[in-house]
Amino acid sequence: MASRLIESLATTEELAELFSDGSILRAMLEFEVALARVESRLGIIPVSAAQSIAAAATPAAFDVKELSRKSLRAGTPSIPLVRVLTEAVRLNDDSAAAFVHWGATSQDVSDTALILLLKQSQLLIDADLARCETVLRRLSEQCKDAVMLGRTLLQPGPPTTFGLKAAGWLGAVHRGRKRLTQAFAEALVIQFGGAVGTLAMLGDRGSVVARELAAELGLACPDAPWHTHRDRLGALICACGVLTGSLGKVARDVGMLMQNEVGEATESGGEGRGGSSTMPQKRNPIGCTIAIAAATRMPGMVASYLAAMVQEHERSVGGSQSEWPTIAAVIQATGVAAASMAEVTEGLRVDTARMQRNLVETRGVVFAEKAMAVLAAKLGREKAHQLLDAATRKVVDERRTFAEVLGDVPEIRNILDDAALKQLTVAEDYLGSAESFRTALLRDTPSTQAKN
């Protein structure tokens, strides 16, 4: 795994590799080679120079540790990279060395390299989100009739269905995925503006070079350079924050359903997954834990990025320099949350029998709202509420059922016979629009595949 041990819970193996030193170096060199190729095709630099630049841009020839040290001195990794690349070109073609990085500036290299990494990260994240959506849709369909307790403020409420709960999770993940897709579409544009965003060194050919460079790199070309206009990346970071929050919400729900006293769902286990160093009986919600940890870190990172958006004039002092670690951390947090919840949902075991037992163990008090609707029409709202409040307290104190206690209340007995009292606590009769809401959520989240 390319990440450090301290980051082992904050990323996936694939994303750790994507944001590794070697990967970043390759992306920066990809920009330099693409720029040289485009400029040679347009006759701006000699073809032989572009060939020499491409031949010298071999990642293995660069000392990443030395680049890092020099980056701290230069204030950007682009300056030492261009210097090393220029010297490597000069060794074999002295005349070609003058055309390295022609017309570009340091931020063009660093920003476009970052965008190239983000393009790859989208594929990884979207694949896991597609997995998650597929499973949540299937769970919703399979469990559409699985009645369970609704829970408000962590206390039992009237019944709902697990199918609706899963559909709600699906809806939130799908909406977050749509926002993220749109944000990526807007953000995946090259940065190419030269010294102050005018490409003056290229004369009147700057726009042509920019369009060709974008095509060469497989990115979109913006209307103009965006050096200190960080709104596209800001929108992407915010979309990551919202999506990761939604994944964290699903993780929180699943983790609480896994509590022993609830026991309505369980993450899959497996080698090295969910155990305890001291308690062999434990089956911990590890996937949920990782997703919640990512969602917990996310707000601060989003705020950090937004604060860095206030950048002065055509090049900032400290703003853009703060971004690489933040963006990398945000993308990796989003990715590890998506991967974790894809694994959680794919292995989720739902215990519908336990859901039914938990309903029964409330002794029917969760149907007080249902009783209120019936009795208020006959006794008035205030009187009905008074009687039901007293009845629910008696159920708890005497450990009797709700129907039994109600049957002892003369005012209620005059309205409801034994059959009506029994019917009062039938969960399936008090699901309201649960199924129509569930089907609407599935209808609004069409089955989709991961982006290629």
Q: 25-80: per-residue pLDDT in tens? A: 999 999 999 999 999 999 999 999 999 999 999 999 899 999 999 999 998 999 99
- 313-363 pLDDT, tens digit per residue, is 998 898 888 899 999 999 999 999 999 999 999 999 999 999 999 999 999
276 tagged catalytic: yes
Q: Token pair 């609480």 is at which residue? A: 256
* The CATH number of domain 365-424, selected from 2.60.120.260, 1.10.40.30, 1.10.260.40, 1.10.1530.10: 1.10.40.30
CA distance 247 to 131: 13
In whole angstroms, what is the distance from residue 105 CA to residue 83 CA? 13
A 10 A CB-CB count for 410 gives 8
Confidence of residue 279 (pLDDT cuts 50, 70, 90): very low
Delimit the domains of the chain by residue range: 12-104+193-223, 116-191+226-362+433-452, 365-424
Longest pairwise C-alpha distance within the chain: 104
Q: Would you state the pLDDT for residue 450? A: 64
The percentage of residues in the chain with a pLDDT greater than 70, rounded to a whole number, is 95
* Residue whose structure tokens are 């699906």: 170
pLDDT of res. 108: 97
d(CA 114, CA 226): 14
Residue 274 has pLDDT above 60, yes or no: no
Q: Say yes or no: domain 12-104+193-223 is CATH 1.10.275.10.
A: yes
Q: What average pLDDT score do residues 181-208 get?
A: 97
* Homologous superfamily, domain 116-191+226-362+433-452: Fumarase/aspartase (Central domain) (1.20.200.10)
Active-site residue among 48, 68, 95, 276? Answer: 276
Q: Which pLDDT belongs to residue 352?
A: 97
Arithmetic mean of pLDDT, 124-135 = 98
What mean pLDDT is reported for the chain?
94
Q: Active-site residue among 26, 90, 315, 354? A: 315
- Report whether 118 contacts 187 (CB < 8 A): yes
d(C-alpha 110, C-alpha 126), whole Å: 24
Grade residue 232 by pLDDT with cuts at 50, 70 and 90: very high
pLDDT digits (tens, 9 = 90+) for 233-266: 999 999 999 999 999 999 999 999 999 999 999 9
Domains 116-191+226-362+433-452 and 365-424 share a fold: no
